[in-house]
Amino acid sequence: MLTSWFTGVTRGTVINHEPKDLNIPPRVSLIITNIENVVNESEDGQDESRFLTLEVRRTPDDMKQIREFIQRARPDIQTELELIQVCWNLITLRTITLHKKIEKDLPIREFKRFLTLCQARALLCNRDTTTDEDIDAMEKFLTYSKPMINSTTPGFTRKESAVFGCLTGNWKTVNEIVKGTGMTMSDVYRALRGREGSFQQPRGGLMSKEPQLEHIEEHSDTENNIHLFRLIPTGE
């Protein structure tokens, strides 16, 4: 069901075997997917195709109240603020040196944020220089935060995230991933290559979304081919 953003629309549906009109107002977009697709074929469609968006327009008085709220004292969280301040004061301020040149294809502002996060992690670890471990940790953080950091990059589904969290720099078979995640074989296949894809031609899944994911196939004349996956270690 699609609705009109500018004018609103009335759509007919059925609830408890009775006809029902849904009056959708302007500036509200409602899309409902086929429930059979969600239940029987893929969980991905539920998040991507069934959603409700609202546009909020604030008056000058609304904005004034919001600014006042942001600057208001917070006695209800004063204890937490004091604890944060104590922790902050325990951090020894120092210059953190990047231990090597970093190449990442990110917008300049996000690239600067990535470098700052690497340096911040080194600072919290009481070091003067970053390490490969800092870079690896920030790579994983950005992976899980893709929808926030870069809205043009597809985020991971829940099952894709579970498979990604199971992977390391060492090669793992699909059976080892199944055991590590507790997921079914078919769910792992779908998380890796997409619902309609194959290992040779993935359509979605981690094989399409994660550039650090590496895949090899070991052929066998007597058994099914063995597929192995790993995350490319930093520096390779």
pTM exceeding 0.75? no
Predicted pLDDT of residue 216: 92
pLDDT digits (tens, 9 = 90+) for 132-161: 999 988 887 776 655 444 444 456 777 888
Higher pLDDT, 113 or 96: 96
Q: Are 174 and 188 in contact (CB under 8 A)?
A: yes
Distance of CA 107 to the CA centre of its chain: 18
Predicted pLDDT of residue 109: 78
Predicted pLDDT of residue 121: 92
Residue indicated by tokens 């619902």: 195
Predicted pLDDT of residue 157: 77
pLDDT tier for residue 50 given thresholds of 50, 70 and 90 = very low
Q: Are 193 and 207 in contact (CB under 8 A)?
A: yes
What is the rounded distance in angstroms from the CA atom of residue 141 to the CA atom of residue 114? 10
pLDDT tier for residue 47 given thresholds of 50, 70 and 90 = very low
Q: 191 pLDDT exceeds 80?
A: yes
Once rounded to an integer, what is the mean pLDDT over residues 175-201?
Answer: 89
Higher pLDDT, 212 or 142: 212
Q: Using DSSP, state whether 213 is helix, strand or coil.
A: strand
Q: Are 153 and 146 in contact (CB under 8 A)?
A: yes
Predicted pLDDT of residue 234: 64
Find the largest Cα–Cα distance for the chain: 74
Residue indicated by tokens 């500018």: 6
pLDDT tier for residue 66 given thresholds of 50, 70 and 90 = confident
User: How is residue 11 annotated by DSSP?
Assistant: E
Provide the CATH topology of domain 158-231: Arc Repressor Mutant, subunit A (1.10.10)
Higher pLDDT, 76 or 220: 76
- What are the structural domain ranges in the chain? 9-54, 80-149, 158-231
Order across the sheet with 172-173: list the strands.
172-173, 226-231, 213-218
Once rounded to an integer, what is the mean pLDDT over residues 148-175?
Answer: 75
2's tokens: 């699609």
Q: 77 pLDDT exceeds 80?
A: yes
What is the rounded distance in angstroms from the CA atom of residue 28 to the CA atom of residue 33? 17
User: How is residue 129 annotated by DSSP?
Assistant: B
Q: Are 38 and 50 in contact (CB under 8 A)?
A: yes
